[in-house]
Structure 1
Amino acid sequence: MSWTPDYPRTVHERRPPGHRPRAPRWTLGFDAPLSLATSDYPALQCAGPDDPAAGPFLERVHACHTGRDGADAPEAWELLSFTDEAGRHNLVHLGYWRDATSHARWLATTPLPRRLAELDAAVPFGAWHEVVQVPLDRVARIHSDPRRAFGLAACPGTRRESRTVNGHFGAARDRLPLSATDPLEAAGPHRHRARPAASEGRRLRAECGHHTAVIRSGRYWQRAEGEQLADYTEALEGWAAGHATYAAIYEHAIAKNRQYGEARTVVTWHEVFVLPRTAAFAYVNCHPATGILPYATSLPAVEPDSPAPYGG
């Protein structure tokens, strides 16, 4: 038996009457009820993969999953890296939990999050820590293939289930259980900071606006080859670079699903978390375009839990 929150709908759904999606999709079900879903992003921001701070960061990542320190380790996790718009190299440990208490213990006792909480802003690198933790009625998942588990779906006690709430504008909103009773409207106008945040050399705590949506989209093509790989890396990457409409990628995905069917090896998925205003993220000596700094509604400076010595 699978469990997901389900409310009687009092807010009109976006799905047109009689709509039938043209491609199959799957959502996420749980074997048992849970109160909060957590994704946690502690990260290092440095000059490059060979930066001296990278080694100690990776050592703490390893410690999170071994020995005594691994007691409350995330149920699923990924190690990510990317170069951001400022040319900084970012290493990110992304963890998922179904148990919020286990996550709280991990924050309090494990070397990686404790180190970020203690960093002095004078360190010669940046660090950031974003925690996304919401009730399950504020989470929506969709997968193009049930055979691959990514993100929250990689946690034990979860399963992919067929879903038909897709293929129409507003489908992502309709997939959120809370959208049945809450219009999920912003409390005020969207904003972008008039001036960049004075974030370098400082420790800041940034707050987001009510009903901020955090969307993580994923693509997996490790097993793809030949025509499918060439089609994906040429056509869709070109689409992303050219900022074409969402309809273009959707129509293309539909066509390729019909063409390859069960033989399709390029898998896509995304997850949406709609945050309450209480969500807060921390940034230490980061450039002003990091994370939500350009959009944060509040940027109070905070002191580290206790001064930490120089190092990664």
Structure 2
Amino acid sequence: MQQNNSQDARTYPLRMPPGWNPPVPAWMSVFDEGVHSVSMSVIGCQHNEDQDVAGFLSDLKQAATGADIVDFARSSDADGRQQTVGILYWLNPEDSARWAGSDRFGAFWSKHAEAGEHGVFREMVNIPLERSETLFSGPEHDHGMSQKRVSLEGPVDRHMYWGGMRDRIPLSADDALEAGGPIRVVEEDGERISVEAHENLCIIRSGQDWTLTEGVQREEYLEQIEPVLDAGMRFLRDNGAEVGCYSCRYMRELDDGFADAERSFGLAYFRTMADLEAWAEHHPTHLAIFNKFLEIAPKYGPALQLRLWHEVSVLPAGRQVAEYVRCSPGTGFLGGIAMQAAEPA
């Protein structure tokens, strides 16, 4: 989707400074013109560190046959429990809906929801592309939903300034993308709770791939960039309510054999894009990440070996649902329920 930099016909003007020239290049993904919405499902289990989840992963991999993209990853909760997930994408929301209602997925879900060995959850969202944006530090990167893109736009000028993320979302030209209503409990039955997201819940999946780094660049990432990134993700995980973040998983990607890959990402749910923007622009944990990157990346230019990317989406209400069985109160969308309950009446 090509973007017009003109301020004409925009209700909300671009925040891009006049004559802006980004200090480092970036590219955006372009999808087939027939793709208007992408469905994403985060299917996971929450378990103790010593529990074996190989069976869960194998069953999910088999059940996920038919998804356009399947990524596996793991993370740690503040209480020491683990989350191991598959992130599934479909370029056709109808295919996703059929899969969610299929006997194959139903059998998988029933088996693990009823087993009682660990908590399980499913977070299923539909992302209109007019409400989404992607960004990559190099033209060859193809992470997340962009593993199924057809081409690239760029280098783009709408990045590396505060507000660039919003400027890259097409709908932001005429929509303030403000929150509408609370996250709502749809059904609660014993250890199972189903919830539905409110209007304009903001999701960010932001990743790092250091597979190709070597020498000094590898040391700089592992010893200088990653520690401040980890600190920022831990803040959002443990204290996210302070900045409107319902939950944050700092995840290590897994390869085809379910071993750790040299890729990671943060998957966070914010009340609104404005909350995400405020954390990014003003909070010391994100400013430390941003400033460390600016300290290192520009000196390499196109020779930067570290691959960075993200996808940000602001969801419409409806068909944004999640279900949790035996999960901690702050897991995923449940963090929004907890945050709302703590707010003054």
TM class, shorter-length: 0.7 to 0.9
The one-character-per-residue Cα deviations of 1:122-163 (angstroms, maximum 9, x if unpaired) are 7231000001212111111111111121001101x4323212
| Aligned amino acid, residue 20 of structure 2 | H
Determine whether 1:214 maps to 2:182. Answer: no
Give the structure-2-normalised TM-score: 0.73
Matched residues in 2 for 1:181 and 1:77: separation? Answer: 33
Equivalent AA in structure 1 for residue 135 of structure 2:
I
Return 5+ residue gaps in structure 1 as ranges.
Answer: 192-198, 300-312
The corresponding residue for 1:270 is: 310
Matched AA of 1:57: F
Say which SS state the counterpart of residue 87 (structure 1) adopts.
Answer: coil
Out of 139, 147, 150, which is 1:154 matched to? 147
- Find the counterpart in structure 2 of residue 310 from structure 1: none
The partner residue of 1:293 within 311, 334, 343 is 334
Equivalent of residue 221 in structure 2, options 232, 236, 244: 232
Report the Cα distance in structure 2 between the residues aligned to 1:236 and 1:40, rounded to whole angstroms.
29
Match of 1:92 among 82, 85, 96: 85
Which residue of 176, 180, 184 maps to 2:173? 180
Q: What is the rounded CA distance, in whole Å, between the counterparts of 1:241 and 1:108 in structure 2?
A: 37
Higher RCO structure, 1 or 2 (CA under 8 Å, sep 6+): 1
Aligned residues of 1:166 and 1:172 also touching (Cα < 8 A):
yes
CA deviation after TM superposition for structure 1 residue 240, in Å:
2.9
Name the SS for the 1:295 alignment partner: helix
Q: Identify the structure with the greater helix proportion.
A: 2
Shift of 1:114: 4.6
Contact persistence 1:119–1:284 (CA under 8 A) = no
Higher-Rg structure is: 1
Can you list the C-alpha shifts for 1:223-259, whole angstroms capped at 9, x where unaligned? Answer: 2121111111111123235553534433433343332
TM alignment of 1:57-96, pairs within 5 A: 57-64=56-63, 70=65, 73-96=66-89
- Cα deviation, 1:269-297, whole Å, max 9, x if unaligned, reads 11111112322211111011211212138
Residue 30 of structure 1 and its aligned partner are, at CA, apart by: 1.4
CA contact (8 A) 1:86 1:287 kept: no
- 1:127-142 matches, within 5 Å, as 127-142=120-135
* Distance of 2:34 and 2:228 partners within structure 1: 39
Q: Structure 2 vs 1, CA of residues 290 and 16 (structure 1 numbering), >3 Å: closer, same or farther? A: same
SS of 1:130 mapped into structure 2: strand
Give deviations 1:155-205, integer Å, cap 9, x for gaps.
1x43232121101111111111110110112236x99xxxxxxx9951111
**C-alpha contact (below 8 Å) 1:213/1:274 kept by paired residues:** yes
Cα pair distance change 1:200/1:150, threshold 3 Å: farther
Question: Would the aligned equivalents of 1:4 and 1:33 in 2 still touch at CA under 8 Å?
Answer: no
| Structure-2 change in CA distance of 1:94 and 1:9 (3 Å) | same
Q: Specify the code of the residue in structure 1 equivalent to 2:77.
A: D
CA contact (8 A) 1:29 1:159 kept: yes
Structure 2 distance, partners of 1:119, 1:249, is 38
Query: What are structure 2's unaligned runs of at least 5 residues?
Result: 233-283, 341-345
Residue 21 (structure 1) aligns with: 22
Q: Which amino acid aligns with 2:54?
A: G
Residue 18 to residue 114, structure 1, CA distance change in 2 (3 Å): farther
Q: 2:49 touches 2:81 (CA, 8 Å); kept in 1?
A: yes
Distance 2:138 2:54 in 1: 36
TM-score by length of structure 1 reads 0.80
- 8 Å contact from structure 2 (residues 225, 293) kept in 1: no
Cα 1:271/1:60, change in 2 over 3 Å? same
The corresponding residue for 1:258 is 298
Corresponding residue SS for 1:209: coil
Contact 2:204–2:310, Cα closer than 8 Å, also in 1: yes
CA distance in 1, matches of 2:28, 2:306: 17
State the Cα distance separating 1:28 from its structure 2 match. Answer: 1.0
Find the partner of 1:111 among 104, 115, 118: 104
Q: Which amino acid aligns with 1:288?
A: P
Give the distance between the partners of 1:295 and 1:44, measured in 2 at CA.
19
